[in-house]
């Protein structure tokens, strides 16, 4: 019998394998597609932030920064040395219109309680910090500019976690799991991302297609933070000499991962040009789509032991923030499994029980 089996070798599976292996547990990870063609993490924007409403999400974002900045030392291996990680700590800037302002003022209380080190300004003051912005229609904005938020290359992040887990004794095998009951192990962890509902029919996590556009602009502002305009739902960040911009439109039951190209002219470009006037001159150079692991109940993580199954744990439903939450979730699940309770960040409000009893705990700041 296996000690611990993890279903899904994406970013959550790899991180959990790393933290468990560090404690000496024997871990086997089953991944059906080691090329990760449709997995969420390689198609993500790589962003890590602490600007959320709920304290758990703020704390997980803070831990992401801590982990990512120490990654070369933590994940050094004998064969490959210190992993190279491409981290751009340009910060995040979230923009709020009057319809979201009150909620943001509430969120700031949680930022303060968690020492998130975020700054908040009225719309009129925005140009002092970000001269390229047109603040029309905005009421307030929250940002960091002290290199504590930003983005990381998702492939490098995943490879570093996986390689270190393997060095510590984890085994990654190519295998598709059809039913959880097919596995013989002391402990089973489902880290199947947006496909979780195929294995656990009582967990409302489904693939939700999101499109990202690659654009070029003659005027390049390389220091721009990852900016989310909550008044339109459009978000963007620099990528080398270009930019990446996400559409607020999303689709369940999408038959394929073809980007929703019409969104660019219909929604994204007008929103970008209004907010950043130099973006009037944008040119579309490419794009892709990927699946969010959407928790349809409340857009929030589902983590912990399944109360109706003897030895099954799960971690899913991150709804667009699983990459940054991977270190904190891997560490938290390891604490739960090895000691019976969370030791660092208390993740019990993400429990599976909340889902089964339909208790929403909505995280509003989904980009």
Ligand X SMILES: Cc1cc2nc3c(=O)[nH]c(=O)nc-3n(C[C@H](O)[C@H](O)[C@H](O)COP(=O)(O)OP(=O)(O)OC[C@H]3O[C@@H](n4cnc5c(N)ncnc54)[C@H](O)[C@@H]3O)c2cc1C
The footprint of ligand X (CB under 6 A) covers: 7-13, 30-33, 36, 39-41, 43-47, 176-177, 191-195, 199, 210, 212, 290-293, 316, 318, 320-324
Q: How far is the CB of 11 from ligand X (least distance, A)?
A: 4
Q: Which residue shows structure tokens 């001159």?
A: 281
Distance CA 303, CA 312 (A): 11
Nearer to ligand X, 73 or 176 (CB): 176
Nearer to ligand X, 37 or 78 (CB): 37
Q: How far is the CB of 34 from ligand X (least distance, A)?
A: 8
Token output for 320: 């667009």
Residue 29: count of CB within 10 angstroms of its CB: 25
Q: How far is the CB of 157 from ligand X (least distance, A)?
A: 10
Q: Is 18 exposed, middle or buried, given 0-12, 13-18 or 19+ CB atoms closer than 10 A? A: buried
Nearer to ligand X, 16 or 104 (CB): 16
Distance CA 65, CA 263 (A): 32
Sheet holding 87-88, edge to edge: 47-48, 150-152, 87-88
Nearer to ligand X, 36 or 342 (CB): 36
Task: Label the pairing between strands 47-48 and 205-216.
Answer: unpaired
Token output for 3: 């000690």
Which of 300, 23, 30, 346 shows the shortest CA–CA distance to 172?
A: 30
Q: How far is the CB of 199 from ligand X (least distance, A)?
A: 6
Distance CA 118, CA 323 (A): 21
Do 7 and 191 contact (CB within 8 A), yes or no?
Answer: yes
Query: Measuring CA to CA, how many Å separate 223 from each of 93, 147, 243?
Result: 12, 11, 12
Nearer to ligand X, 107 or 188 (CB): 188
Do 308 and 184 contact (CB within 8 A), yes or no?
Answer: no
| CA-based end-to-end distance of the chain | 42
Q: How far is the CB of 113 from ligand X (least distance, A)?
A: 22
Nearer to ligand X, 43 or 135 (CB): 43
Distance CA 231, CA 229 (A): 5
Q: Which residue is nearest to ligand X (CB)?
A: 10
Q: How far is the CB of 164 from ligand X (least distance, A)?
A: 16
Nearer to ligand X, 192 or 224 (CB): 192
Which residues, including other chains, have CB under 8 Å from residue 116's CB and lie 6 or more apart?
50, 51, 58, 61, 62, 110
Q: How far is the CB of 15 from ligand X (least distance, A)?
A: 8
Token output for 145: 């500019």
Q: How far is the CB of 89 from ligand X (least distance, A)?
A: 14
Nearer to ligand X, 107 or 192 (CB): 192
């Amino acid at each position: 019998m296996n000690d611990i089996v993890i279903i899904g070798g994406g970013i959550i599976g790899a991180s959990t394998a790393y933290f468990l292996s560090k404690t000496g547990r024997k871990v086997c990870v089953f991944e059906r597609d080691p090329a990760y063609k449709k997995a969420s993490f390689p198609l993500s924007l790589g962003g890590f932030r602490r600007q959320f409403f709920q304290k758990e999400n703020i704390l997980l974002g803070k831990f992401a920064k801590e982990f990512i900045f120490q990654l070369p030392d933590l994940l050094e291996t004998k064969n490959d040395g210190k992993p190279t990680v491409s981290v751009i700590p340009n910060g995040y800037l979230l923009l709020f219109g009057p319809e979201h302002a009150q909620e943001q003022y509430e969120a700031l209380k949680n930022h303060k309680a968690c020492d998130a080190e975020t700054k908040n300004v009225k719309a009129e003051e925005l140009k002092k910090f970000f001269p390229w912005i047109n603040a029309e229609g905005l009421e307030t904005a929250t940002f960091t500019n002290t290199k504590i938020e930003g983005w990381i290359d998702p492939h490098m992040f995943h490879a570093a976690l996986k390689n270190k887990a393997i060095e510590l004794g984890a085994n990654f095998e190519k295998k598709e799991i059809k039913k959880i009951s097919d596995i013989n192990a002391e402990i089973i962890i489902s880290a199947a991302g947006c496909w979780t509902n195929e294995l656990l029919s009582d967990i409302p996590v489904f693939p939700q297609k999101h499109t990202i556009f690659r654009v070029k602009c003659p005027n390049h502002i390389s220091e721009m933070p990852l900016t989310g305009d909550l008044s339109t739902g459009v978000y963007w960040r620099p990528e080398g000499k270009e930019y990446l911009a996400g559409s607020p439109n999303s689709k369940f039951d999408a038959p394929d991962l073809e980007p929703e190209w019409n969104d660019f002219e219909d929604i994204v470009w007008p929103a970008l040009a209004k907010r950043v006037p130099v973006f009037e001159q944008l040119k579309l150079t490419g794009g892709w789509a990927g699946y969010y692991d959407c928790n349809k109940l409340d857009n929030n993580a589902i983590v912990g032991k399944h109360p109706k199954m003897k030895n099954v744990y799960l971690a899913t439903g991150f709804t667009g923030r699983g990459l940054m939450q991977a270190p904190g979730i891997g560490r938290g699940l390891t604490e739960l499994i090895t000691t019976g309770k969370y030791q660092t960040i208390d993740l019990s409000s993400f429990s599976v029980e909340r889902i089964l009893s339909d208790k929403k705990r909505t995280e509003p700041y989904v980009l």
